[in-house]
Structure 1
Amino acid sequence: MRDLSGFVETRQQLLSLKPNHRMNWIGFAVAHHLNSNSSKAVEVLEAYEGTLEDDYPPENERYEHNEMLLYKISLFEECGMLDRALEEMQKKESKIVDKLSFKEQMASVLFKLGRFDESESIYRSLLFMNPDNYKYFIAVQKCLGLYSDNGQYSAADVERLSALYNSLKEKYAWSSAVKRIPLDFLEGEKFQEAADNYVRPLLTKGVPSLFSDLSPLYEHPGKANILEQLFLKLEDSIRDSGCFPGW
């Protein structure tokens, strides 16, 4: 069993012995965090920042300081202190060099504050940077109110989702995610058509993870049968003509 209270005491003793070492401050904060006291962890990090000069950090320590700032912001977010997290990000933006993590955290905080338009805008800019990141697509859906934890969508939502992914597909035609995610909400003939378009290039390339990728769809009523018929059709065509149907 972990003695987290003892860990906190040990880290405090180490900090008392060497208060000039950054890692002792961060270690003390992490100890409080692990001991389910995130607010105290924030206090420790702010106390550490109070010991620094205004022009800190030097060039060779910018990334380490950036990591500490992002950690503190995540603690604010974890504590539900979203306004403080946003204020801290705006105040310390120039000292945060990991701009990708900064954008992700900013989008997350804005979403939790209910500022969905601003959050969506950032997630769309992140999609431009990495259009194969499933998390960004799902985040855009959430910002638009088009995400369901149980995967059940109304006909109107499916129509809106289809329009969303059709527009995204025009921008990111090479993205695998933009083709795969619609398979989760499409049904019937539209699902079959989308699945056909999705699997053909991957079968041609011999991607071994294709069937693992599709396996979650087997839980959706009717989709397993559609996929079975699709693959049998493709197999028969390859056996008869050496190519996919219509090629």
Structure 2
Amino acid sequence: MRSIRWYFKGLFPLKFMALIIATSLLLESAVYITSSDPKIGIQNLVMLSLMLINPLVLISAFLHVYRSKETTLFELSLLASWRGIAIARIVSALLFVLMFWSIQSFYLLLLIFLAEYKVIILNSFIILLSANTLLWLILTTLNFFVNYISIGLLISLMSNKTSSLLLGALVFFFMPFSVIILLSSYQENGIELSGPMTYFIYFLNPEWSYMFNLQYPKLIDLHLIQGFTISVAVSIILITIYYLAFIKLQFKP
């Protein structure tokens, strides 16, 4: 048990974590303060998170499962089994994003309540604030992180680690952005989105899908609880596949 505690303590050095959190909050604060209107400030803050900060956090979390052969041998001597290594990598990546998500969510709520207004503007979305709306904004952000951690874990199985890291970065940055472009195109052309495609889009960008559904409910047939449940289930399946594949790859002839 001591070795496991030591292992996770080594994965989350205080200076590194403080640097990431402080940099993110400073960027968000700068964007918010320099905005002419608090409502636009929240918009810019959310867009900054979607387009830059969240992908960078995912890349940082991805580094927790990006290991050299030498590090893997060290992990094996410490954790005693391949199953232990697989579980440790999954847990470390999830803990990383959960810690950042909790701090980011608190900061967003603090800004909203300090501004003392009931409406925020997110891009072209005008959202009436309520406890339910805020809850789902926070939950969909968590959903976003978990979804992409599950994808990142699978990508980490690639034999070429440089290609793995590059592909992970491309996926974390461009897949969520492609959903924003796609939904904007659907909105401009009045195209309705329904069926499995709706939940695929939700999986790739839960936050934007939720906000789009709030503003244009007639253009997207999204049942939020169902979408959240399906998304979590898919993430669990992908993480399970990673776990089984990782163990199998260690015993290849």
Shorter-chain TM-score category? under 0.3
Larger Rg: 1
TM-score normalised to structure 2 length: 0.24
The TM-score normalised by the length of structure 1 is: 0.25
More relative contact order, 1 or 2 (CA 8 Å, 6+ apart): 2
Judging by fraction of residues, say which structure has more helix: 2
